[in-house]
Copies of this chain bind each other. A is one copy, B any other.
């Protein structure tokens, strides 16, 4: 989607991906190579004015290697490194005044037991690194299951976090350019199943949404300024009463912002390229009354292309189907939230996940 947005802006995107025929390779020139393959990284940087990433688990060392060789990395390797470590990420949240759940670092079984004493139960054990879509997480409800949880996250450095009794999850997608201009899209309400994002609704419903939006924008701006961030950043929050708790951030275009292609004046993809490419940012306001993004997970129901629902937009990524894999998404746009819900009711019954 970044490469496609680049095409329209006259920005040529070349990608580095370890797989042949990756989604981006289907729409743009691609280098096939591991993310830490130095020759491949240099080939990528040599032909590029700026290097960015859209997957937060690319090794920060690879981006540092390129930065040392003089390449322009946006966002910076440091921002990537913070986002790759849940402890550093949460420390940053706390530092800028974004409340976080009670938590404690865990490095072994002993420190896990100490963390349980400090944080209380129920809690979630989360590996510090390489976690997304609910991977590397285990809920701990009873102290005697601590060892199981430790094994299930892979016995790696982790954090134990109090299980928050939250009302709902929202996310803000924001963008900052090199001059410090910051813009944010409307706050989005997210619904997960099995730890994977299923649906995002924009703008987030509720009378408290405008207040939460202002709050989320303040936090996003503080975090981006602290990191000297350039590009799109997404932050997921738990809403607890009238408070936002910081859950995690993604230093990239984000699944909960995919609706912006049809639903916002400027998409997150176009604005990410504008930010990293040194162009002025585009308008992030809604282009429609309401929009929803529904992920297609594991399977793409044939019937989807057959539906004649107002405002339905199909996006397939050209990936081989595999259980739990995000193969595409459907954006539904409408003039108002009630019409959006009516359209969603026509679409979602066809989405049997695999």
Q: Is the CB of A308 within 8 A of B287?
A: no
Asked whether any CB of chain B lies closer than 8 Å to the CB of A146, the reply is: no
Which of A34-42, A58-66, A163-171, A274-282 lies at the interface?
A274-282
Within the complex, the shortest CB–CB distance from A100 to chain B, in Å, comes to 35
Residues of B within 8 A of A26 (CB): 7, 28
Within the complex, the shortest CB–CB distance from A234 to chain B, in Å, comes to 22
Residues of B within 8 A of A214 (CB): none
Within the complex, the shortest CB–CB distance from A179 to chain B, in Å, comes to 12
Cβ-neighbour of A310 out of B265, B308, B328 (below 8 A) = B265
Q: How many copies does the complex hold?
A: 2
Asked whether any CB of chain B lies closer than 8 Å to the CB of A8, the reply is: yes
Cβ-neighbour of A8 out of B285, B306, B315 (below 8 A) = B315
Asked whether any CB of chain B lies closer than 8 Å to the CB of A27, the reply is: yes
Q: Is the CB of A7 within 8 A of B282?
A: no
Asked whether any CB of chain B lies closer than 8 Å to the CB of A268, the reply is: no
Q: Is the CB of B8 within 8 A of A316?
A: yes
Asked whether any CB of chain B lies closer than 8 Å to the CB of A300, the reply is: yes
Query: How far, in whole Å, are A307 and B7 apart by their CA atoms in the complex?
Result: 17
**With A7-B26, A28-B27, A316-B8: A279-B306 Cβ-Cβ less than 8 Å:** yes
Query: How far, in whole Å, are A300 and B308 apart by their CA atoms in the complex?
Result: 37
Cβ-neighbour of A4 out of B4, B308, B313, B333 (below 8 A) = B4
Sort A-B residue pairs by CB-CB distance and give the 6 closest, nearest first.
Answer: A10-B316, A8-B315, A279-B305, A27-B27, A280-B308, A283-B310
Asked whether any CB of chain B lies closer than 8 Å to the CB of A88, the reply is: no
Q: Is the CB of B316 within 8 A of A9?
A: yes
Query: How far, in whole Å, are A315 and B11 apart by their CA atoms in the complex?
Result: 11
Q: Is the CB of B9 within 8 A of A27?
A: no
Residues of B within 8 A of A285 (CB): 310
Within the complex, the shortest CB–CB distance from A3 to chain B, in Å, comes to 8
Within the complex, the shortest CB–CB distance from A295 to chain B, in Å, comes to 15
Q: Is the CB of B287 within 8 A of A306?
A: no
Q: Using an 8 Å CB-CB cutoff, how does the interface string of A132-176 with B read, 1 for contact, 0 for none?
A: 000000000000000000000000000000000000000000000
Asked whether any CB of chain B lies closer than 8 Å to the CB of A311, the reply is: yes
Interface residues of A in 271-322 (CB under 8 A from B): 274, 279-283, 285, 287-288, 300, 305-308, 310-316, 318
Residues of B within 8 A of A316 (CB): 7-10
Cβ-neighbour of A318 out of B7, B265, B279, B305 (below 8 A) = B7
Query: How far, in whole Å, are A9 and B8 apart by their CA atoms in the complex?
Result: 19
Residues of B within 8 A of A274 (CB): 305
Residues of B within 8 A of A333 (CB): 287
Query: How far, in whole Å, are A279 and B4 apart by their CA atoms in the complex?
Result: 24
Add 6 more A-B contacts to A283-B308, A287-B288 (CB < 8 A).
A7-B27, A7-B318, A262-B287, A282-B308, A287-B311, A287-B333
- Sampled A-B contacts (28; CB under 8 Å): A4-B7, A4-B27, A7-B318, A8-B313, A8-B314, A8-B315, A8-B316, A9-B305, A9-B316, A10-B300, A10-B305, A10-B314, A10-B318, A10-B328, A265-B310, A265-B311, A274-B305, A279-B306, A280-B306, A280-B307, A281-B308, A282-B308, A282-B312, A283-B308, A283-B310, A285-B310, A287-B311, A287-B333
